[in-house]
Amino acid sequence: MPHTRVLSLWFPRLGAERLVRLAPHLAGQPLAVARDTGQMQVLSSLSGAASRAGLTLGQPLRDAQAMCPELHVKLQNPVAEAGFLTTLRRWAGKFSPWVAEAPPDALTIDLTGCAHLFGGEAALLEQVVRDCRDLGLTACPGIADTLGAAWALARYAGRAPGHDRSGDAIDQEARATRSRAGKRKHWEKGGAAPPSATPLVDTSRIAEPGKTHTALGPLPIGALRLDAEVVHSLTRLGLRQVSDLAGQPRAALARRFGKGLVLRLDQAFGAAPEPISPALPEVSFAVRLTLPEPIGLETDVLAAIDRLLPPLCDKLRRAGQAVRALRLEAHRTDGTMGAVSVALARPADVPDRFKPLLAMKVPEIDAGFGIDMIRLEVLQAEPAHDRKTTGHLDAGQAVAQRLSQNTAIDDLIGRLGARIGMEQITRRHPASSHLPEKASQTLAAAWSEPAGAWPKPPSARPLSLWRPEPVTAPETPAPPSEFRWRNRRLSVTSAHGPERVAPEWWLDDPDWRTGVRDYWQVTTDAGDRLWLYFAHGRDMSPGWFCHGAFA
């Protein structure tokens, strides 16, 4: 059986190079893609010219423009970048049928049994890099036996471990030594001499089968996909290479840095499984409308939605599907996009069901310099089968009545969900438990049906329930004539009961360790109607408790 071979293909400049493909005049010029974090805009992708100008990822946009005044800046379009990565995934299918996306800027390819079709792994990598270069993309590949090792080689192959220059590193050079070293040529400072010819693909990006430890040993510990805080702490301790960690006791590493560090080590070396899940077959329901002139009014956007909804619903009906979640995309003339999403309480394939929800979301879209394309895409679809009334006449009439009832409640849930979120709207349902505090359950209103008839309890239940609170009273099963509760001394005017409730013996509930309960409806001289019970005691001592209050 052949070794599992994994190719990790990283596109470090995906966002910027996607824009260069759309605007070729930006090639060779410093270009940056900015992401809005809420407080400021930071750089999320850079072209080669921008990197040579000294800009870095995550740098604030204002600092980048001060360093490079001729910088071209474009706002990030995450949806378009994800769509471009999906296109690259389909292109990568020429090398293997097992391709998965690794958002936001990488692909994972299972090459097991495929490399020999291209003349070996080195020849395959050369073709991959050559094809990416023809597409105007910068690609960094890595091949190894595991996904973690391939990920590390794609991003860190050929990179030396960094130093934590905090002032207490024992190998930190003196100032005079560094000043003299700056006058020497770079290959005389301990580095390798410049090669005479740069190969298309560095062979260090390929880990031979069974030699994962050797390939990962000299790489920085950041190649293990660790958090920045963990990498910083390990570097302070002098553990800068993967080989420094490989020989350390696992128990000590797990105690100090958590199990995540040990898991990443095991995944990189193949001790822990990390399967590759290929993308599912694409079943997309989407329609778009390209406009001859940019628009910016809400009425124009609503008119475009009116034209797009009927053909979208026709597509869904032909496929036997109904909409559960829908996204409206407004593509602007400057290449950016504004998008809003809506969800329905019950799947539907009728335009009138989700048109009001989209109308509520349209004001949230910023038209910018104008919108030149409107697109509707179904984010979540569910099967919608044709319903026919069959069987007994009365049963058929009941089914027909239920199906023909109005959808006002569902529409209300959809409108509220568009404002506060579907998960915030809940409804109460009866539960299969005889305990008072477990007699009901909370379900999401959008994914549950209204409750039918509630089971009738043996006696009335209070309007308010809380966790049992101790009551100071004689430890006898008979109702007390007076008791103390919440720093109040109350006298009993009437008591009705008892109703005996036994605990669920198959569960160990801390609130029921007092054993069997006898519930009483007690009316006090202050007008309070309380639900008291006497616990007969089991793991805990007997006594009186207050469990709720009637209206």
Torsion sign over Cα 295, 296, 302, 305: positive
For residues 53 and 94, the answer to whether their CB atoms sit within 8 Å is no
Per-residue pLDDT tens over the stretch 357-369: 999 999 999 998 9
| Span of 173-177, 249-253, 390-394 with lowest mean pLDDT | 173-177
Per-residue tokens: 241: 């290479």
pLDDT for 194-206, tens place per residue?
444 445 566 788 9
Task: Give the per-residue pLDDT at 201.
Answer: 62
For the entire predicted model, the pTM comes to 0.57
What are the tokens at 141? 């590949």
Distance from C-alpha of 507 to C-alpha of 407, rounded to nearest angstrom: 41
Angle at 510 between CA 506 and CA 516, to 5 degrees: 65
Q: Please write the tens of the pLDDT for every residue from 391-428.
A: 566 666 665 665 555 567 877 888 888 788 888 888 88
Q: What 3-state class would DSSP assign to 516?
A: coil
Taking alpha carbons only, the member of 496, 487, 489 closest to residue 529 is 496
Phi-psi region of 225 (alpha: psi -120 to 50; beta: other; left: phi over 0): left
Six-digit token string for 329: 């995309």
Structure-token pair, residue 146: 């595991």
Residue range 270-314, pLDDT digits in tens: 999 998 888 776 778 999 999 999 999 999 999 999 999 999 999
pLDDT at 335: 83
Model confidence band, residue 162 (pLDDT cutoffs 50, 70, 90): low
Residue 500's closest CA among 475, 477, 471, 483? 477
Residue whose C-alpha is closest to residue 268's, from 409, 151, 386, 425: 151
Q: For residue 180, what pLDDT is reported? A: 45
Give the Å distances, CA to CA, from 211 to 207, 208, 269.
6, 5, 9
Whether pLDDT at 178 is above 50 = no
Residue with more model confidence, 182 or 216: 216
User: Token pair of 317, please?
Assistant: 């009906």
Mean pLDDT lowest among 131-135, 306-310, 453-457, 485-489: 453-457
- Alpha carbon distance 380, 283 (integer Å): 10
Residue closest to 223 by CA, chosen among 169, 277, 161, 266:
161
Residue that the structure tokens 């693909």 belong to: 201
The span from the CA of 417 to the CA of 515, in Å, is 43
Residues 6+ apart with CB under 8 A from 6: 108, 109, 110, 111, 143, 144, 145, 146, 147, 149, 150, 276
Residue 431: phi and psi, rounded to 5, are -115, 160
Confidence band of 192 (pLDDT split at 50, 70, 90)? very low
Nearest-CA neighbor of 428 among 398, 409, 450, 408? 450
Contact yes or no for 139/11 (Cβ under 8 A): yes
pLDDT of 195: 44
